[in-house]
Chains A and B, each alone.
Chain A
Amino acid sequence: GESVGLHLPTLSVQEGDNSIINCAYSNSASDYFIWYKQESGKGPQFIIDIRSNMDKRQGQRVTVLLNKTVKHLSLQIAATQPGDSAVYFCAEKNQAGTALIFGKGTTLSVSS
């Protein structure tokens, strides 16, 4: 079946450190991936996306890396700030390409 998962349920870092959040996906045909940030009691917020024809994409303080060989996706956050504390989900299109399938989430805690 389709599944998208994350390696670690929690990640704790110090303010200013770089954070790396990982995700493994199972559908080798997936061609589009997204990272979302969800704060407590709120809906997911788009962070960055990447298509399968790319290995890397950079945004403001964030970088997404895609390794299609091992079906692995990662989100790197540079100079992590307390405001980055949230749950991070990776998502991919379902096999029909009509909707998103979410991974299990990693809770990022940033201490000052």
Chain B
Amino acid sequence: GAVVSQHPSWVICKSGTSVKIECRSLDFQATTMFWYRQFPKQSLMLMATSNEGSKATYEQGVEKDKFLINHASLTLSTLTVTSAHPEDSSFYICSARGLGLGNEQFFGPGTRLTVL
């Protein structure tokens, strides 16, 4: 139980285009979802926290107009990287916390974004 999936697992795009990454909780309702970014050989950096039906809370230094987060349902959150540039190339990981599942965050497998 408590499985989180991400789609796509990897994506390559041209500079200037937008890319959408989906995060789904497969067998539980996710009241809160988190988006992290991880550069090679570095730790996970929290980008934003989103609660279903409300606007995401972004961490300091994360551009909300560049990284659009939508958490429209209890099982789906999306991260859209707008006007992507090579420096946005990274590993994007989502996690979710669910109703009745305590404090534990369940992590997705990550999405590797490469911007050419």
At the interface, yes or no: B77 with Cβ under 8 Å from chain A?
no
CB pair B103 A32 closer than 8 Å: yes
- Check A102/B44 contact, CB under 8 A, given A43-B93, A49-B104: yes
CB pair A89 B43 closer than 8 Å: yes
Q: Is the interface of B mostly helix, strand, loop or mixed?
A: strand
B contact residues around A41 at 8 Å (CB): 91, 110, 112
The interface bits of chain A over 93-112 (1 if a CB of B lies within 8 angstroms of the residue's CB, else 0) are 01000111111110000000
CB pair A43 B46 closer than 8 Å: no
Interface residue from B43, B49, B106, B107 paired with A99 (Cβ < 8 Å): B49
A contact residues around B112 at 8 Å (CB): 41
In the bound complex, how far is the Cα of B34 from the Cα of A101, in angstroms? 12
CB pair A43 B108 closer than 8 Å: yes
The 9 closest A-B CB pairs, nearest first, are: A43-B107, A102-B44, A102-B43, A43-B110, A43-B109, A44-B107, A104-B43, A43-B93, A43-B108
Q: Tell me the smallest distance from the CB of B49 to a CB of chain A, in Å.
A: 5
Q: List 9 A-B contacts (CB under 8 A).
A: A32-B103, A41-B110, A43-B4, A43-B108, A43-B110, A45-B107, A46-B107, A89-B43, A99-B34
Q: Tell me the smallest distance from the CB of A50 to a CB of chain B, in Å.
A: 12
At the interface, yes or no: A42 with Cβ under 8 Å from chain B?
yes
At the interface, yes or no: B80 with Cβ under 8 Å from chain A?
no
In the bound complex, how far is the Cα of B49 from the Cα of A84, in angstroms? 30
Q: Enumerate chain B interface residues (CB-CB to A < 8 A).
A: 4, 6, 32, 34, 36, 42-46, 49, 57, 91, 93, 95, 103-110, 112
Beyond A45-B107, A105-B42, list 16 extra A-B contacts (CB 8 Å).
Answer: A32-B103, A34-B104, A43-B6, A43-B93, A43-B108, A43-B110, A44-B93, A44-B107, A98-B32, A99-B34, A99-B49, A100-B34, A100-B46, A100-B105, A104-B43, A105-B43
Q: Tell me the smallest distance from the CB of B108 to a CB of chain A, in Å.
A: 5
**Interface core residue of B91, B105, B109 (most chain A CB under 10 Å):** B105
CB pair B104 A46 closer than 8 Å: yes
Q: Tell me the smallest distance from the CB of A99 to a CB of chain B, in Å.
A: 5
Q: Tell me the smallest distance from the CB of A69 to a CB of chain B, in Å.
A: 24
